Amino acid sequence: MVRVGVLVTGDTAVRAAHSLSAQDGIDEVVVIGPARSKSFQVVDSASGCDVLVGSGPRAPALARKHGLPLVWDGNGPKRGVSVWGADPAGITLALGAGETDPQLVAIAHPEISSNGENRRVRFPSPVGLTMVRDTAVDGRPLAVGRSKNEYASSYVVAGTRTLTILEDGKFMSGVALAAGVSVLADVPRPVWEEAETYLSAVFAMGLVLGEA
């Protein structure tokens, strides 16, 4: 069983705490204070926790102060971070990692910046036609774009097969972070290196995969 400490680093971490609290194998979820919470016990220190969960740029430094491994939604390794890429882009890369010849690996999310788009991708409705920019994460191609509404979509095309996850953007972000706990190991790594395990946790927490 695992005791998870949630760092007070924003809405995504709070949503992750709720997703984790209902999962098998999670013994307890606590919030590392100072903070107020109606749903979770607030504690002064991370003593007794096995892992920390946090979002945003402040989380790695906070985790280092507690000396515990961190599950993080940042897109690269940092000192003290044991699992990174636990965000909607990481979900999308994990989907693509299971395909032998992915032709398109793309994410649209309302919190992605709208700078530098160079082409259009038609995501499933209600996200629809979206401008994206081509990037790479950990050497893996990823097209990213800003959704025009509250929905987010992970979209992978490989041959004649398409994979889609469509969900409220904030909910997807919380689940993506929470599911990162499932791939915690002795060696730091991104979520897509254990794509099957990570995606199993993502789906158990409520995201639904569409396939055609």
Taking a C-beta distance cutoff of 8 angstroms, is the pair 86, 179 a contact?
yes
Per-residue pLDDT tens digits for 23-59: 888 989 999 987 788 888 888 888 899 999 999 999 9
pLDDT at 115 (0 to 100): 82
Check whether 1 has a pLDDT greater than 80.
no
* CATH architecture of structural domain 2-85+171-211: 3-Layer(aba) Sandwich (3.40)
Domain ranges of the chain: 2-85+171-211, 88-169
Helix residue spans in the chain (DSSP H): 11-21, 59-66, 88-97, 169-179, 195-204
- What is the pTM for the complete model shown? 0.95
Residues 6+ apart with CB under 8 A from 130: 108, 120, 121, 122, 123, 145, 146, 147, 148
